[in-house]
């Protein structure tokens, strides 16, 4: 490997894999546009490089949760359509309007903020109305929809805004056949029909996240919003592995073994002595811990590839480090320890860590800490030049 191999730890981000995943998802939702969801620093992969790679592979929209995330994309020079949906009163509404970012309104207060921002910016806001079709999280309940749509139409006629989208979000798209899926689609179609009857002409109607993009074609509408699948991770193991879905995990998390030493039988390992060496053995010190996002819940269960073998975290994960029992093997200090990656070198995957920690793979990649450098490789869209780290 290149000089990054000498880093304590690194998250290598394969942008060629990300671009290939975007192409696979665009094929799965042919006829719809694709929004690359790059919230939370691109699910821990680095928002700006991932946004650029997704754009190069044909994603026409970028999506974030917070307006600050969206503004950061604009500031980095990303043009075209950007949408953000997680607003609070007093947020940077005016900055978003000035930057031509689509804002979301699921309540009257948000619509009022968008109108006020448009007045002070001197240009119409691009507003997408969010319907709560059953998730029970953000968005406007069906009973309140006429009031929200009516007020938005009034503001549109007055030139303060343009209603650019009508959108919603699924509760159980990762459970194929769940009765809420059909129910939410019915409510969504009714809410869209009502808004269109009132004169709304949205540029985009959208509802599908990754699992819906992969399994619910009738939910594709004009645009699909893909996050986790674009990063190459299956939204749920029941939907298939990454490989079965034609996706390739984008992040490889690895560390340099910090120490290898002999230890006698019966030696306690790490805080609380939750592991005791069963025999004379060798111990390897892996210099990443829960401050780096390695889940403490994976104490005694997280898998790591070291010296060609998959080992298990011995005892507790500490803040900055954990230990593996190497069973007498003696890899050199500095040898590579791979916590997770695509899996084709025999390394574990983020899904394996999710199972070890009792969570979902979304959380595993998203929680990798700021102390771990992201090393983006294959940044050039020219695949023939591929494989060259920058």
Ligand X SMILES: *Cc1c(COP(=O)(O)O)cnc(C)c1O
Site residues (CB under 6 A) for ligand X? 37, 39, 65, 85, 169, 209-210, 225-229, 235
Angle, helix 15-28 to helix 47-56, in steps of 10 degrees: 50
Q: Measured from the CB of residue 21, what is the shortest distance to ligand X in angstroms?
A: 11
- The reply to whether 273 belongs to the active site is no
Q: Which is nearer to ligand X, 67 or 124 (CB)?
A: 67
Q: Measured from the CB of residue 328, what is the shortest distance to ligand X in angstroms?
A: 42
Q: Is residue 16 within 8 Å of 52, Cβ to Cβ?
A: no
Q: Which is nearer to ligand X, 235 or 249 (CB)?
A: 235
Q: Measured from the CB of residue 210, what is the shortest distance to ligand X in angstroms?
A: 3
- The reply to whether 39 belongs to the active site is yes
Q: Measured from the CB of residue 169, what is the shortest distance to ligand X in angstroms?
A: 5
Q: What is the dihedral of CA 362, 374, 305, 388, to 10 degrees?
A: 120
Q: Measured from the CB of residue 115, what is the shortest distance to ligand X in angstroms?
A: 23
Handedness of CA 59, 61, 62, 63 (dihedral sign): negative
CB-CB neighbours of 175 under 10 Å:
16
By DSSP bridging, strand 303-306 and strand 268-269 are: unpaired
Residue with nearest beta carbon to ligand X: 227
First-last CA distance in the chain: 12
Question: Of 214, 226, 223, which is closest to residue 37 (Cα–Cα)?
Answer: 226
E strand residue ranges, 95-167: 103-105, 125-130, 161-167
Question: Of 327, 320, 337, which is closest to residue 254 (Cα–Cα)?
Answer: 337
Q: Which is nearer to ligand X, 172 or 258 (CB)?
A: 172
Q: Is residue 207 within 8 Å of 183, Cβ to Cβ?
A: no
**How is 97-111 classified by DSSP, letter by letter?**
HHTTPBEEESSHHHH
Q: Measured from the CB of residue 383, what is the shortest distance to ligand X in angstroms?
A: 25
Q: Which is nearer to ligand X, 211 or 289 (CB)?
A: 211
Q: Which is nearer to ligand X, 77 or 177 (CB)?
A: 177
Q: Which of 43, 188, 231, 271 is catalytic?
A: 271
Q: Which is nearer to ligand X, 85 or 290 (CB)?
A: 85
Angle, helix 145-157 to helix 179-197, in steps of 10 degrees: 40
**Active-site annotation, residues:** 39, 271
């Amino acid at each position: 490997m290149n000089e990054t191999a000498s880093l304590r730890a690194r998250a290598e981000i394969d942008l060629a894999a990300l671009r290939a995943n975007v192409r696979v998802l665009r094929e799965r939702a042919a006829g719809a546009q694709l929004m690359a969801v790059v919230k939370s620093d691109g699910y821990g992969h680095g928002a700006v490089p991932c946004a650029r790679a997704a754009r190069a592979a044909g994603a026409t929209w970028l999506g974030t949760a917070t307006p600050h995330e969206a503004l950061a994309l604009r500031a980095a020079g990303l043009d075209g359509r950007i949408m953000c949906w997680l607003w609070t009163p007093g947020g940077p509404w005016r900055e978003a309007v000035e930057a031509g970012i689509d804002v979301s309104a699921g309540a009257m207060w948000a619509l009022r903020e968008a109108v006020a921002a448009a007045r002070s910016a001197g240009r119409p806001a691009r507003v997408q109305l969010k319907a709560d079709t059953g998730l029970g999280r953000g968005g406007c309940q069906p009973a309140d929809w006429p009031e929200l749509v009516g007020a938005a139409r009034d503001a549109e006629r007055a030139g303060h805004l343009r209603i650019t989208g009508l959108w919603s979000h699924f509760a159980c798209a990762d459970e194929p056949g769940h009765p809420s899926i059909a129910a939410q689609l019915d409510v969504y179609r009714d809410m869209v029909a009502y808004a269109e009857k009132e004169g709304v002409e949205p540029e985009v109607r959208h509802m599908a996240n990754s699992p819906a993009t992969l399994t619910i074609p009738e939910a594709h509408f004009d645009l699909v919003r893909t996050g986790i699948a674009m990063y190459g991770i299956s939204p749920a193991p029941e939907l298939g592995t990454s490989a079965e879905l034609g996706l390739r995990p984008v992040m490889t998390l690895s560390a340099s073994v910090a120490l290898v030493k002999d230890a006698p039988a019966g030696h306690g390992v790490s805080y609380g002595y939750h592991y005791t060496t069963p025999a004379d053995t060798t111990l390897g010190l892996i210099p990443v811990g829960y401050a780096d996002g390695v889940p403490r819940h994976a104490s005694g269960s997280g898998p790591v590839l070291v010296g060609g073998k998959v080992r298990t975290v011995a005892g507790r994960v500490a803040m900055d480090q954990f230990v593996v029992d190497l069973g007498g093997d003696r890899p050199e200090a500095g040898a590579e320890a791979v916590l997770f990656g695509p899996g084709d070198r025999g390394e574990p995957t983020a899904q394996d860590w999710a199972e070890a920690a009792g969570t979902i793979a979304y959380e595993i990649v998203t929680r990798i800490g700021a102390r771990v450098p992201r090393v983006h490789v294959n940044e050039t869209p020219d695949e023939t030049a591929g494989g060259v780290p920058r």
